């Protein structure tokens, strides 16, 4: 793992459908300055800046890291951009952490964003090259068959997805930054919404959000304020087109989890982790990732969801913040998971704080479930 | 408010009436009334002619825009101190005019609005050229659009327009796309009604479409293999979200494991209602007749059920289970 590294500042914007009042630069600055304020620092205290976002086609800004360098106080400093599709927010945090763990820098500002209102993600994800058939429409069209296969294999009852959709949106009501606020949401409401990409219903999908998230990372000697210490950090990827590829519970996700648990000394994630922020953009991915991440045996993740184990008052709360299902500025969504995990162990999650949370998992996945990024943070120094 | 053209209907317009007991009657003082402005309104209009908006300060230190000779609340004379305001202002309230009349300042739908100029304590009434009613809201920031040749009249401001808050940024990248050698080979065979795969000798896995390197082990794939146009639906989505580039909804996009291959292809399932498609269903490619074949993949219209019994996927069927 190298040098010790901690999250000492977190900044988020209020996620919403359209932030027409700010430019992209204004949006990322809002998050960055809040993270610096949280750490009691200014741009002058930062050694390097790492930026993450989803494909350039989303905003049509080519190489946004070049445009945003001075907006993020990076003039004269190292600046880089990370890109691993939907998992990018998580990967960006891990690249930032590696600069400290490797002993290169003492303080790194990590920023991720998406301003989805500037175009349309489904359009940007479905460019339909010539010669092929145009069949997959957006992320939902891609993931729906894998959810169907999970349902078949596990024999999970049809309503499990709706339970997750309700739970995460109820959690969102406790998070002042969350995008979707649906007071009174219940299973009947979710089940009354139309199937977009069957078996995915409208209220079982994430929203399109504008927003940015930033964190300040510090080496041990540069820590200010309340640290969330990184105990494990791992990324994995796998090829999308490989014969026999396991698409319901990808091997890369299992390998990534095994690596991060080994580093953090986690042997039983359900027991050893107090709260998890996991990338669940479609409700059924909660039970699927419960299994992939080893919180439940194969084909039994849905039983934890059904029993309320992942609720805010359950034994292993998942997505206390409301998760991706409630806020989805795509490029930032992974970093928000990582940042919320840090907020929980810093005791700074406000109304959605899980009492006594000492160890938290941040998780992100991207592409066709082919990129994974995870970290484990704790209030204890490793 | 805006001084209308002398007459909405020119005097020489023939009366469009046929009833002999109905007549058109126009009252119009020739040349228009001569109205003296007095010093305060005169200053306001003179400044307008120079494309400035000024108000006047009251004894109570309020700034009246448009200015008056007196404080409307107390009746006292104003101070004589003129204050430049704006040029931007904020819409307080508005009413939409969807069918402008001849005397209106704009010939397209617009809003009448009360506008509080920056630095003013009262509001003026003017037209806002907002394009559509949904663009109007209290709090909207607006700026004047000036007439080309100001004359010292409230119509020197043609109308107000919203501030710039968004721009359109057209981005267009145009490419010439050519399939590589392997895909060209695959497409050539598709035109003949044959699905071409390739077998990785190292992994003993058959890939379709044909490719020359194994995505799993990286080895060169040297063995071409013609594969069946029949297969099994491993899983699928029913797409209900319309997209101009995709088939008409609802359409079924399915992972189909062609017989003798080890990786499923994504393809359209047709010839069966969407809700009758099943995991494990046996399907066969429906080819476009040879004389109609054009674009490579379009040569397969879709995959349709063969009518064979479903495959049991709960066994370790390749593609479904790893």
> Is the CB of residue A122 less than 8 Å away from at least one CB of chain B?
yes
For residues A211 and A29, the answer to whether their CB atoms sit within 8 Å is: no
Cis link prior to B87 (omega < 30° from 0)?
Answer: yes
pLDDT for position B63 = 97
CB A72 within 8 A of CB A109: yes
Residue with tokens 């300055």: A33
Q: A355: exposed, middle or buried (C-beta count within 10 Å: 0-12, 13-18, 19+)?
A: exposed
For A42, A381, B119, B124, B199, the CA distances from B317, given in Å and listed in that order, are 58, 47, 76, 76, 19
Condensed to tens digits (0 to 9), the pLDDT of residues B255-294 reads 999 999 999 999 999 999 999 999 999 999 999 998 888 7
pLDDT confidence band for B26 (50 / 70 / 90)? confident
Q: Give B15's pLDDT tier (boundaries 50, 70, 90).
A: low
> How does the average pLDDT of chain A come out, rounded?
95
pLDDT of the residue at B260: 94
Residue A298, preceding peptide bond in cis (omega within 30° of 0): no
| A5-120+208-222 has CATH 3.40.47.10 classification | yes
d(CA A335, CA A353): 18
Q: What is the pLDDT of residues A135-167, one digit of tens each?
A: 767 788 889 999 999 999 999 999 999 999 999
Query: Which residues of A83-149 form beta strands (DSSP E)?
Result: 107-115
Contacts of B234 in chain A (CB under 8 A): 149
Nearest to A148 among B236, B245, B298 (CB): B236
- Strand-pairing partners, residue A9, are A216
* ipTM (interface predicted TM): 0.91
The nearest CA of chain B is from the CA of A22 a distance in Å of: 9
Q: Residue B242 — pLDDT band, cuts 50, 70, 90? A: confident
- A240: nearest CA partner in chain B: B215
Query: Looking at residues A294-302, what average pLDDT do you find?
Result: 98
Is the pLDDT assigned to residue A277 strictly greater than 80?
A: yes
Determine the number of helices (DSSP H) and then strands (DSSP E) in chain B: 2, 16
- CA A287 to the chain's CA centroid: 16
Give the mean model confidence (pLDDT) for residues A179-184. Answer: 96
Question: Measuring CA to CA, how many Å separate B21 from each of B10, B12, B27?
Answer: 22, 20, 19
| B34, B27 contact by CB (below 8 A) | no
What would the two tokens of residue A122 be? 């489904």
Nearest to A32 by CA among A135, A121, A112: A112
Q: What is the pLDDT of residue B241?
A: 87
Cis peptide before A337 (omega within 30 of 0): no
Show the beta-strand stretches assigned E in chain B: 53-57, 63-64, 82-85, 89-97, 110-117, 123-128, 141-146, 157-162, 195-200, 205-207, 223-227, 230-239, 251-258, 265-269, 282-287, 300-305
A15: which DSSP letter? P
Contact B296 A131 (CB under 8 A): yes
Give the residue from A221, A232, A185, A226 showing the smallest Cα distance to A204.
A185
Q: Kindly state the tokens that stand for A121.
A: 């993600």
Confidence of residue B3 (pLDDT cuts 50, 70, 90): very low
The SS3 of residue B92 is strand
Q: Which stretch of DSSP H or E encloses residue A303?
A: helix A301-306
pLDDT(B10) > 60 = no
User: Interhelix angle for A138-154 vs A285-292, to 10°?
Assistant: 60
Portion of chain A with pLDDT greater than 70, in percent: 99
Mean pLDDT of A4-20: 97
Give me the mean pLDDT over the B162-166 stretch: 93
Write out the two tokens for A291. 């299994």
Would strands B223-227 and B195-200 be described as parallel, antiparallel, or unpaired? antiparallel
| Torsion over CA: B59, B62, B67, B72 (sign) | negative
Strand order in the sheet with B223-227: B205-207, B195-200, B223-227
The tens digit of pLDDT for each residue in A242-266 reads 998 999 999 999 999 999 999 999 9
- What pLDDT does A210 receive? 97
What sign does the dihedral A327-A333-A335-A337 (CA atoms) show? Answer: positive
Count, in order, helices (H) and strands (E) of chain A: 13, 11
The answer on pLDDT for A196 being more than 60 is yes
Q: Are B10 and B26 in contact (CB under 8 A)?
A: no
- Best mutation site among B168, B182, B191, B239 for testing chain A: the one with the most A CBs within 10 Å? B239
- B43-97: pLDDT as tens digits: 999 999 999 999 999 999 999 999 999 888 888 889 999 999 999 999 999 999 9
Identify whether the C-beta of residue B202 lies closer than 8 Å to the C-beta of residue B214. Answer: yes
* A262-288 as b/e: b if 16+ CB within 10 A: ebbebeebbebbbbbbbbbbbbbbbbb
Residue of B135, B186, B215, B235 to mutate when probing chain A, most A C-beta within 10 A: B235
Q: Please report, for residues A49, A61, A69, the alpha-carbon distance to residue A75 in angstroms, rounded to integers and kept in the order given.
A: 10, 20, 6
- Which chain A residue has its CA at the smallest distance from B203's CA? A243
Q: How far apart are CA A373 and CA A88, in angstroms?
A: 8
Per-residue pLDDT reduced to its tens digit, A49-75: 999 999 898 998 888 998 899 999 999
- Of B259, B266, B271, B264, the closest CA to residue B304 belongs to B271
pLDDT at B4: 45
Of B216, B297, B322, the CB nearest to A246: B322
Q: How many CB atoms lie within 10 A of CB A381?
A: 11
State pLDDT tens for residues A308-328. 999 999 999 999 999 999 999
A137 vs B contacts (CB less than 8 Å): 239, 241, 243, 246
Q: Is A155 on the interface with B (CB under 8 A)?
A: no
Work out the minimum CA distance from B315 to partner chain A, whole angstroms. Answer: 11
Q: Which residues have CB under 8 Å from B122's CB, separation 6+?
A: B55, B62, B63, B64, B65, B116
Q: pTM of the predicted model, to two decimals?
A: 0.87
The count of CB pairs under 8 A between chains A and B is 119
What pLDDT sits at residue A240? 87
Tokens of residue B109, six digits: 């739908």
Q: What is the tens place of the pLDDT at every residue in B168-227? A: 999 888 999 888 899 999 999 998 899 999 999 999 999 999 999 999 899 999 999 999
What pLDDT score does B122 carry? 96
Residue-range domain boundaries for chain A: 5-120+208-222
| Closest residue by Cα to residue B212 from B224, B221, B203, B199 | B221
Please say whether the beta carbons of A88 and A113 come within 8 A. no
Chain A CA closest to residue B267 = A135
H or E segment to which residue A285 belongs: helix A285-292
Chain A residue with the nearest C-alpha to that of B262: A243
3-state secondary structure of A263: helix
Cis geometry, peptide bond prior to residue B26 (ω within 30 degrees of 0):
no
């Amino acid at each position: 793992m190298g040098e010790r590294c901690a999250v000492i500042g977190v900044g988020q914007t209020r996620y919403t459908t359209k932030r027409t009042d700010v430019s992209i630069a204004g949006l990322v600055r809002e998050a960055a300055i809040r993270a610096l304020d949280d750490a009691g620092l200014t741009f002058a205290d930062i050694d390097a800046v790492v930026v993450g976002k989803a494909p350039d086609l989303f905003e049509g800004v080519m190489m946004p890291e070049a445009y945003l360098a001075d907006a993020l106080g990076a003039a004269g400093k190292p600046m880089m951009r990370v890109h691993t599709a939907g998992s990018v927010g998580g990967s960006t945090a891990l690249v930032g952490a590696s600069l400290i763990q490797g002993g290169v820098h003492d303080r790194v500002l990590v920023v991720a964003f998406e301003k989805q209102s500037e175009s349309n993600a489904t359009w940007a994800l479905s460019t339909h090259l010539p010669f092929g058939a145009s069949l997959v429409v957006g992320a939902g069209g891609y993931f729906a068959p894998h959810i169907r296969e999970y349902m078949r294999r596990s024999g999970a009852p049809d309503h499990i997805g709706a339970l997750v959709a309700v739970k995460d949106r109820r959690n969102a009501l406790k998070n002042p930054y969350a995008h979707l606020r649906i007071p009174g949401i219940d299973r009947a409401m979710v089940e009354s919404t139309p199937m977009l990409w069957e078996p995915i219903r409208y209220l079982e999908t994430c929203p399109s959000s504008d927003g940015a998230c930033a964190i300040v990372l510090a080496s041990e000697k540069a820590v200010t304020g309340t640290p969330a210490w990184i105990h494990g950090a791992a990324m994995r990827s796998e090829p999308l087109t490989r014969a026999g590829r396991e698409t319901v519970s990808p091997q890369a996700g299992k390998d990534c989890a095994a690596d991060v648990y080994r580093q953090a000394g986690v042997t039983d994630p359900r027991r050893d982790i107090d709260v998890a922020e996991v990338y669940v953009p479609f409700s059924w991915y909660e039970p699927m990732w419960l299994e992939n991440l080893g919180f439940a045996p194969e084909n039994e993740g849905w039983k934890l969801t059904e029993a309320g184990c992942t609720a805010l008052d359950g034994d292993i709360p998942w997505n206390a913040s409301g998760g991706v299902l409630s806020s989805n500025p795509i490029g930032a969504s992974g970093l928000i998971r990582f940042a919320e995990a840090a907020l929980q162990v810093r005791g700074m999650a406000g109304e959605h704080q899980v009492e006594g949370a000492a160890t938290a998992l941040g998780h992100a996945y991207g592409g066709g479930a082919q990129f994974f990024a995870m970290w484990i943070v704790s209030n204890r120094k490793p | 408010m805006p001084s209308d053209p002398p007459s909405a209907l020119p005097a020489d317009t023939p009366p469009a009436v046929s009833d002999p007991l109905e007549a058109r009657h126009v009252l119009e003082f020739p040349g228009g009334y001569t109205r003296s402005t007095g010093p305060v309104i005169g200053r306001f209009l003179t400044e307008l002619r120079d494309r400035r908006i000024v108000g006047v300060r009251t004894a109570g230190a309020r700034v009246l825009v448009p200015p008056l000779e007196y404080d409307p609340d107390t009746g006292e004379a104003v101070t004589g101190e003129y204050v430049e305001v704006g040029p931007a202002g904020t819409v307080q309230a508005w009413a939409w005019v969807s069918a402008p009349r001849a005397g209106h300042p704009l010939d397209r739908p617009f809003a009448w609005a009360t506008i509080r100029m920056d630095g003013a304590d009262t509001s003026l009434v003017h037209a806002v050229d907002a394009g559509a009613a949904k663009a109007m809201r209290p709090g909207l920031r607006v700026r004047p659009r000036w007439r080309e040749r100001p004359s010292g009249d409230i119509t020197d401001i043609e109308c107000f327009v919203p501030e710039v808050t968004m721009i359109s940024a057209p981005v267009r990248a145009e490419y010439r796309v050519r399939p590589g050698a392997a895909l060209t080979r695959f497409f050539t065979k598709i035109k003949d009604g044959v699905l071409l795969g390739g077998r990785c000798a190292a992994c003993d896995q058959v890939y379709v479409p044909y490719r020359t390197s194994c995505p799993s082990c990286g080895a060169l794939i040297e063995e071409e293999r013609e594969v069946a146009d029949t297969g099994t639906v491993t899983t699928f989505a029913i797409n209900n979200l319309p997209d101009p580039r995709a088939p008409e909804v609802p359409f079924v996009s399915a992972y189909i494991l062609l017989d003798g291959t080890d990786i499923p292809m994504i393809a359209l399932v047709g010839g069966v209602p969407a809700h009758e498609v099943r995991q494990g269903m046996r399907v066969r490619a429906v080819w476009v007749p040879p004389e109609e074949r054009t674009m490579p993949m379009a040569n397969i219209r879709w995959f349709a059920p063969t009518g064979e019994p479903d495959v049991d996927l709960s066994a370790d069927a390749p593609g479904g289970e790893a």
